[in-house]
């Protein structure tokens, strides 16, 4: 049995943490708990995408 079937990929962990963090910030902002005005949030999405792409490319090379 392959060890890969029992482990979560790093990509899924990064995506899950990103969505969770984004949701918490968005909810806090909507509830007025804090004001989070970051006009460059697409940069974070781009960096997450690049990180996942590089990880998958590195994994496929091995």
DSSP character at residue 1: -
Taking the whole predicted model, whether its pTM rises above 0.85 is answered as no
Q: Which residues contact 11 (CB under 8 A, 6 or more apart)?
A: 52, 55, 56
- Is-contact 11 56, C-beta < 8 A? yes
pLDDT by 10s per residue, the chain, length 62: 445 544 667 777 888 888 888 888 888 888 989 887 778 778 888 888 888 888 888 877 86
Q: What is the pLDDT of residue 4?
A: 53
Hey, where are the domains in the chain?
Answer: 3-61
Q: What is the pLDDT of residue 1?
A: 45
């Amino acid at each position: 049995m392959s060890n890969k079937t029992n482990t979560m990929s790093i990509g899924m962990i990064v995506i899950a943490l990103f969505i969770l963090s984004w949701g918490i910030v968005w909810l806090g902002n909507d509830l007025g708990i804090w004001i989070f005005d970051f006009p460059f949030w697409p940069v974070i999405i781009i960096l997450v995408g690049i990180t996942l792409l590089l990880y998958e490319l590195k994994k496929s090379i091995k």
